[in-house]
Amino acid sequence: MITSTQLRAKFLAFFQSKQHAVIPGKSLIPENDPTVLFTTAGMHPLVPYLLGEPHPAGKRLVDYQKCVRTGDIDEVGDPSHLTCFEMLGNWSLGDYFKKESIAWSWEFLTGRDWLNLDPAKLSVTVFEGDANAPRDEESASHWLAAGVPAGRIAFLPAGDNWWAAGPTGPCGPDTEIFYWLGAGLPPAGSNKGSDSANWMEIWNNVFMEYNRVDEKNLVKLPKQNVDTGMGLERTIAVLNGQTSVYQIDIYQAIITAIGRVSGYSYGADPTKDMSVRIIADHTRTATFIIGDPKGVSPGNIGAGYVLRRLIRRAVRHSRKLGIEGGFLGQLAEVVIGQFAGAYPELAENRQRILDELAREEAKFLETLQKGEHEFEKMLPNLLKNPQKIMSGRLAFKLYDTYGFPIELTLELAAENGLTVNRAEFDEAFKKHQELSRASTEGSFKGGLAEQSEITTRYHTATHLLQQALKMVLGDHVAQKGSNITAERLRFDFSHPEPMTPEQLQRVQEIVNQQIARDLPVTMEILPLEQAKASGATALFGEKYDALVKVYTMGDFSKEVCGGPHVERTGLLGKFIIQKEQSSSAGVRRIKAVLE
């Protein structure tokens, strides 16, 4: 049996043997990317480098990255879907391309010293071509050269073999690798194109040579890159001859713990087993989100809202297993134990994780009790109804006023011989959602940090702003968040009280003076310690690579930052602070525009 720790180590070692530098994975909360709530693929933190920025660690990189995807939440619990997973990735930034990428993937998968998978159980797909890019005969020829029979290579359309993280950004054709899940050996000629159900994707090699600028325009990137993503959980399952990701070491440990707290023995009842898997998945994801260096708390918008939904869904399923009280903390301890080696931040933030989970759990249990109580009060009247129907309006009232989930209303109603007018509830619910979630919804759609000229200017202005704030307010000012769109910058920083109008005026003046001075913006690559010693501002708690980029703006500002930035501050225009407000306890927020 191979464990997740062993697979991570093997992957890094293999690519190190091919001269790749190991870089640390990054936060789950993307910096400077208003279009996504979470890091959803290993490539997200590397986007600036895929677009052409030099990476301080070089052109060949290898890493593992924690990711969260909630788009498939309804499929969680089936054999291959998780909301939190890890991607192992090797990267070429304008270095090697299709030939080496394919040869090395094959060597790692089938090599006796590496994963030693049976070549007869592997198949691949390549891009069949369309108006954007030609049929990828080149990749197919490299697979043939590696020894993959022609019958195991499927040419598929863009829906399968074109990878883009979002509506804009780096993209390109990909070649995907699948493992046979069926019994025995796959029949001759079987591949993903002919038998979709029995082939499970384990690795995706994207050949990123394009940048989608907008809906109509696809331009060639300055360099040809490789972005690969191997699903850690799926690959372990395959290596161990398991057919579900929930059978691997990490999830088995969590599932055993769920058995301990519930007394339910896994395998006895398919419906309850599903609840166990959902709880296992959601607890891991919630633990990772809270335990991230940029940890999030449950809330009503954005990432906090997703977190709240995950926790509440886990609690709801726990009740199906007969768990009554707080249990998430006990499970989170198991998650922390399983992952702290690979993600030390989980152990560092252990107390915060336990506190947040306990608080949200208690809040939700209270909601449930209140809802049940209200239902009991409604019951005598409901039972008088000859058709034994509860109106959707009443069910919605329970949801809207008390936060009581419809699933529980349905259960309570059924227990009392009632049915609920679901259509009426759904209609009321839909209306409510349209109103209240419009803002959060957009954030699920994916997409990448925009790298246009205007956002680059805002990025540079943010550095000037941070330095000006330090000068006016003091050295306690530290960046707590940054979010840039083409319309404005938003900067969160630690400061205990509202700024006075004079302070705001002064900060704005200083930034505009530095713009007027037309300072040169320069970049150098330094070892992290040296960068810090040189006085460069760095984010506390952020994981940096061993070598980092330091951006200097004349004699005014020096920050560790991935870039990109404009070349001179004179390009920024006029800097205007529009708003200063509270962001959270001890954190202030400034919104500013360039005109």
User: Rule CB under 6 A: which of 331-370 touch ligand SER?
Assistant: none
Place of tokens 């998968």: 109
Place of tokens 């990772």: 288
Among 204, 235, 462, 466, binds ligand SER (CB under 6 A): 204
Choose between 172 and 298: whose C-beta lies nearer to ligand SER.
Answer: 172
Kindly write down the DSSP assignment for every residue of 530-563, as one continuous string. HHHHTT-B--TT----SEEEEEEETTTEEEE---
* Beta carbon of residue 164, minimum distance to ligand SER (angstroms, whole number): 9
Place of tokens 């959980």: 233
Q: Integer distance in angstroms from the first to the last C-alpha of the chain?
A: 60
Are 223 and 94 a contacting pair, CB within 8 Å?
yes
Q: Could you give the residue ranges of the DSSP H alpha helices within 270-343?
A: 270-291, 302-320, 328-339
Binding residues for ligand SER, rule CB under 6 A, total: 11
Among 41, 279, 280, 289, binds ligand SER (CB under 6 A): 41
Report helix angle 249-262 to 232-239, nearest 10: 90
User: Rule CB under 6 A: which of 148-177 touch ligand SER?
Assistant: 163
Establish if 493 lies at the interface with ligand SER (CB under 6 A).
no
Q: What's the token pair of residue 185?
A: 């050996």
Choose between 176 and 450: whose C-beta lies nearer to ligand SER.
Answer: 176
Closest by alpha carbon to 260, among 333, 363, 310? 333
CB-based closest residue to ligand SER? 229
* Beta carbon of residue 50, minimum distance to ligand SER (angstroms, whole number): 10
Establish if 42 lies at the interface with ligand SER (CB under 6 A).
yes
Span from 35-43, 69-77, 245-253, 325-333 in contact with ligand SER (CB under 6 A):
35-43
Q: Tally the C-alpha atoms within 13 A of residue 415's C-alpha that lie toward its C-beta.
A: 10
* Neighbour count for residue 187 (Cβ, 10 Å): 12
Choose between 29 and 279: whose C-beta lies nearer to ligand SER.
Answer: 29
Choose between 108 and 556: whose C-beta lies nearer to ligand SER.
Answer: 108
Are 64 and 342 a contacting pair, CB within 8 Å?
yes
Cα three-residue angle 81-87-93, rounded to 5 degrees = 140
User: Rule CB under 6 A: which of 460-489 touch ligand SER?
Assistant: none
Place of tokens 């309570």: 412
Among 68, 126, 171, 206, binds ligand SER (CB under 6 A): 206
User: Rule CB under 6 A: which of 47-106 touch ligand SER?
Assistant: 87, 89
Establish if 211 lies at the interface with ligand SER (CB under 6 A).
no
Choose between 41 and 468: whose C-beta lies nearer to ligand SER.
Answer: 41
Span from 38-46, 126-134, 137-145, 406-414 in contact with ligand SER (CB under 6 A):
38-46
Choose between 228 and 349: whose C-beta lies nearer to ligand SER.
Answer: 228
Cis peptide before 564 (omega within 30 of 0): yes
Place of tokens 């890094």: 12
d(CA 45, CA 211): 16
Establish if 25 lies at the interface with ligand SER (CB under 6 A).
no
User: Rule CB under 6 A: which of 212-271 touch ligand SER?
Assistant: 227-229
d(CA 569, CA 511): 10
* Beta carbon of residue 163, minimum distance to ligand SER (angstroms, whole number): 5
Closest by alpha carbon to 55, among 9, 88, 94? 94
Kindly write down the DSSP assignment for every residue of 300-321, as one continuous string. SSHHHHHHHHHHHHHHHHHHHT
Choose between 75 and 118: whose C-beta lies nearer to ligand SER.
Answer: 75
* Beta carbon of residue 208, minimum distance to ligand SER (angstroms, whole number): 8
**Interacting residue ranges for ligand SER, rule: CB under 6 A:** 41-43, 87, 89, 163, 204, 206, 227-229
